[in-house]
């Protein structure tokens, strides 16, 4: 049996937008989710609304977007 990860870009985008507003979510958690979104998009070729996600991150953490992206990309490259 083959298991496939189902990725629905609108759901991932909405989850990221909610996560950016949730006080329980920290930058490390957001970076992990961002990495998962990047991986899923690469596999499914279904784009997320990155401008909305990035804007939500900047609203929550004005200096955090670069840190979150860097951590997400480091996580992706570590697994490859």
Q: Is the pLDDT of residue 72 over 90?
A: yes
Q: Where are the alpha helices (DSSP H) in 1-80?
A: 9-21, 27-44, 50-60, 65-79
pTM of the model as a whole? 0.83
pLDDT score of 3: 38
- Cα–Cα dist 9/26, whole Å: 22
Nearest in space to 79 (alpha carbons), one of 40, 48, 35: 35
- Cα–Cα dist 23/52, whole Å: 18
pLDDT tens figures, 16-69? 888 899 999 999 999 999 999 999 888 888 888 999 999 999 999 999 999 999
Nearest in space to 71 (alpha carbons), one of 22, 42, 33, 21: 33
């Amino acid at each position: 049996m083959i298991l496939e990860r189902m990725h629905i870009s609108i759901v991932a985008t909405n989850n990221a937008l909610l996560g950016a507003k949730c006080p329980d979510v920290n930058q490390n958690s957001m970076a992990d989710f961002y990495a998962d979104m990047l991986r899923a998009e690469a596999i499914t070729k279904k784009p997320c609304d990155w401008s909305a996600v990035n804007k939500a991150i900047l609203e929550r953490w004005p200096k955090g977007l670069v840190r979150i992206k860097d951590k997400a990309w480091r996580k992706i490259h570590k697994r490859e």
